[in-house]
Amino acid sequence: MASKVIHALYTDDDILLNAVKETRKAHYHIEEVYTPFPVHGLEKAMGLADTRIAICSFLYGLVGLSVAITMMNFIMIEDWPQNIGGKPSFSYIENMPAFVPIMFEMTVFFAAHLMVITFYMRSKLWPFKKAENPDVRTTDDHFLMEVDLGGHSAEEVSKFLTGTGATELKIVEKESDH
Amino acid sequence: MYTLPNKLKLFAIIFMVVGALGMIGGFLAVPADVEEVKTMMASHDDGHGGGHGDATAAHGDGHGEAGAHAGEDAHGGDAHYEHVLGQLQNRPWAAVYVACFFFMMIALGALAFYAIQYAAQAGWSPVLFRVMEGITAYLPVGTVILFVLLLLSTLHFNHLFHWMDADLVNPDSDKFDKIIAGKSGFLNTPFFLIRAGIFILGWNLYRAISRKYSLKLDETNDPAYFKKLFKFSAGFLVFFIVTESMMSWDWIMSFDPHWFSTLFGWYVFAGMMVCAITVIAMVTMVLKSQGYLEFVNDSHIHDLAKFMFGFSIFWTYLWFSQFMLIWYSNIPEEVTYFVTRIEDFNLLFFGMVVMNFVFPLLILMNSDYKRVNLFVIMAGIIILAGHYIDVFVMVMPSAVGTSWYIGMPEIGALMFFFGLFVFVVFTALTKAPLLAKANPLLKESKQFHY
């Protein structure tokens, strides 16, 4: 089903932030906001849920730590416990200080890389991805708020958005996929 | 203005009195001669069962004469009992020294943190300056007591600093220690006291000047004082990092005059900073909960908790770097330091790593937990206990060796200095308004939000 949305353009992040708050208060549905740079407090104003990527990262770190421990325990202690320069290879704990640098690096490596990959997957970013930019100016100096018309009339919403400081309004037919 | 609650005053005085009794008890419980040691050791022999040879061997490095005697008669004879007597006589002194140093280092760390805030022109912390100034008010008291302890050591009231024994550097004596004699250009009592005097004077001078200018700034609203504070703080930080490093050689590393480590100064510094920031956070939360700091919000606590977290990990990094490098190369002259600690102080030595690293890591990693006072206080108590043990493990092995125990003298000294610290700090907090109102960065600090 095709749905109609209004693209409201703003030229200042403070005005945008206020507009987002007012629009939410007036119970219009904000589909998306496009900005050229991170606007502090925008996600709070939009009422977006907190990210859980830090929790993911912590768990990935634990995976990395386990990989490092399992790997070195098998290689250095179980598989071929050689005497290398007098280091005690009788048990993992006895030789642990020598393994700590690797345990640390593997934890960081897994936590960082898997978190980044998670970020790409969740935000659907990859090379050759088609840009979803509704207006090229939003990467330079304009801010765009996409408001779902829903059951409201176009005039009503347009009037409201002009009141919030929008400099330009555009009604767009959108092939809806949500 | 903050007024000292009578309950808190009473609380501090009770701690001081009970602690002082414990300390005196510790001094009275010291055996007077070898015979007493023998009867003491016979009465609880399982504690030392079969430990005669071990004890002397393990401490041969720290105590030149003991090692020599152990060579003559490793078992039996009076040499071993004399050695234990020396350890037991050191114990109440070492207990006082550790507790005194621990609280002095909190005040010193807070002073360094305070100077960093000025030098970095931090925008979040000005609302906490008066709290920090209150904590650093303990510095004059703490350093003077510590200086008296050092002076008593140089006057041979105790045998804490082994190298102060004049026989060790006398080539004609049979106690002559070539290694210590070789270091006597640096480790000699007059120079030691002069150095201590310079450190203590320098720190207290900055503390007095910064406090004076901070109050003057409020009084006159003249930004010139802010600029002066900035300059003095930057200068103090240079002085501090040099003197702190030397202080750690003098006041802690010289307990083991045969041993040396290059990153020791940093290691002591990291422990000092984490304790100081923890105490700043705790005092802030206490005052806030009593309604005195209405301009402090949970973002300030969050920032302090971040510092606690970060410095805990920094401390662990230095602890591990020092340990792992020495463990890996395993050079006999260096590794004895850790051998005695792992053999005789095993639980404390590794337990403190858990307390100072694993607990803060897990408790303070979550951003939400860093805003919950209960979690920060809990983490803070564990961190402070852990760093007391850290100082304990740095000092005790060479002062009392295997005769260590956390009993009446140790807990008494800790209670006494805790009471004194609380009394001095909270009394100092009543001397000035809790908000440094003329600071140019104050508005930013009040609105600080993370």
The full DSSP string for B220-248 is H--HHHHHHHHHHHHHHHHHHHHHHHHHH
pLDDT bracket for residue A127 (50, 70, 90):
very high
Q: What is the CA radius of gyration of chain B?
A: 23
- The pLDDT value recorded for residue B86 is 86
Q: Who among B327, B365, B367 is closest to A97 (CB)?
A: B327
Question: What ipTM, to 2 d.p.?
Answer: 0.89
- The pLDDT value recorded for residue B354 is 96
Task: Kindly report the number of other CB atoms within 10 A of residue B445's CB atom.
Answer: 22
**Are β-strands A2-10 and A29-34 bridged in parallel, bridged antiparallel, or unpaired?**
unpaired
Considering only CB atoms, which residues of chain B are within 8 Å of chain A?
320, 323-324, 327-328, 330, 365, 367
| Residue of chain B whose alpha carbon sits nearest to that of A54 | B366
Contacts of B309 in chain A (CB under 8 A): none
Q: Is B439 exposed, middle or buried (0-12, 13-18, 19+ CB in 10 A)?
A: buried
The residue type at A25: K
| Residue of chain A whose alpha carbon sits nearest to that of B321 | A97
pLDDT digits (tens, 9 = 90+) for A163-176: 999 999 998 887 75
Q: Which residue has the tokens 């090692």?
A: B67
User: Among candidates B244, B233, B234, which has minimal Cα distance to B271?
Assistant: B244
B324/A86 CB distance under 8 A: no
The residue type at B123: G
User: Among candidates B386, B399, B422, B359, which has minimal Cα distance to B275?
Assistant: B386
Strand partners for B316: none
| Residue of chain B whose alpha carbon sits nearest to that of A104 | B317
CA distance B367 to chain A (A): 10
Residue B14, C-beta contacts closer than 8 angstroms, at least 6 positions apart: B419
Q: Who among B324, B365, B367 is closest to A100 (CB)?
A: B324
Contacts of A86 in chain B (CB under 8 A): 330
Q: Who among B324, B365, B367 is closest to A97 (CB)?
A: B324
A54/B367 CB distance under 8 A: yes
Q: Is A157 exposed, middle or buried (0-12, 13-18, 19+ CB in 10 A)?
A: buried
| Residue of chain A whose alpha carbon sits nearest to that of B328 | A98
Distance (Å, whole) CA B255 – CA A96: 29
Contacts of A58 in chain B (CB under 8 A): 365
pLDDT digits (tens, 9 = 90+) for A13-39: 999 999 999 999 999 999 999 999 999
A98/B323 CB distance under 8 A: no
pLDDT digits (tens, 9 = 90+) for A45-99: 999 999 999 999 999 999 999 999 999 999 999 999 999 999 999 999 999 999 9
Distance (Å, whole) CA B374 – CA B292: 18
Element (H, E) at B288: helix B264-289
pTM score: 0.90
> How many Cβ pairs closer than 8 A exist between chain A and B?
12
A100/B320 CB distance under 8 A: yes
Would you list the DSSP string of B130-191? HHHHHHHTHHHHHHHHHHHHHHHHHTTSS-SSGGG-GGGG-TTSTT--HHHHHTTTTS-HHH
User: Among candidates B415, B400, B395, which has minimal Cα distance to B92?
Assistant: B400
| Residue of chain A whose alpha carbon sits nearest to that of B361 | A58
Residue B166, C-beta contacts closer than 8 angstroms, at least 6 positions apart: none
A86/B330 CB distance under 8 A: yes
- The pLDDT value recorded for residue A1 is 52
Q: Which residue has the tokens 């102060």?
A: B164
Q: What is the maximum alpha-carbon separation in chain B?
A: 74
In B29-119, alpha helices (H): 34-43, 45-48, 52-58, 64-72, 79-119
B365/A86 CB distance under 8 A: no
Give pairs for A85-92: CB < 8 Å, separation 24+: A86/B330
Considering only CB atoms, which residues of chain A are within 8 Å of chain B?
54, 58, 86, 97-98, 100
- The pLDDT value recorded for residue B30 is 87
Contacts of B323 in chain A (CB under 8 A): 97
Contacts of A97 in chain B (CB under 8 A): 320, 323-324, 327-328
Distance (Å, whole) CA B246 – CA B252: 10
Distance (Å, whole) CA B263 – CA B22: 35
Please report, in tens digits, the pLDDT of each residue of chain B (450 residues total): 888 999 999 999 999 999 999 999 999 988 888 888 888 777 765 444 444 444 444 444 444 444 444 444 445 567 888 888 888 889 999 999 999 999 999 999 999 999 999 999 999 999 999 999 999 999 999 999 999 999 999 999 999 999 999 889 999 998 899 999 999 999 999 999 999 999 999 999 999 999 999 999 999 999 999 999 999 999 999 999 999 999 999 999 999 999 999 999 999 999 999 999 999 999 999 999 999 998 999 999 999 999 999 999 999 999 999 999 999 999 998 999 999 999 999 999 999 999 999 999 999 999 999 999 999 999 999 999 999 999 999 999 999 988 899 999 999 999 999 999 999 999 999 999 999 888 999 999 999 988
Q: Please, are residues A13 and A148 in contact by the beta-carbon 8 Å criterion?
A: no
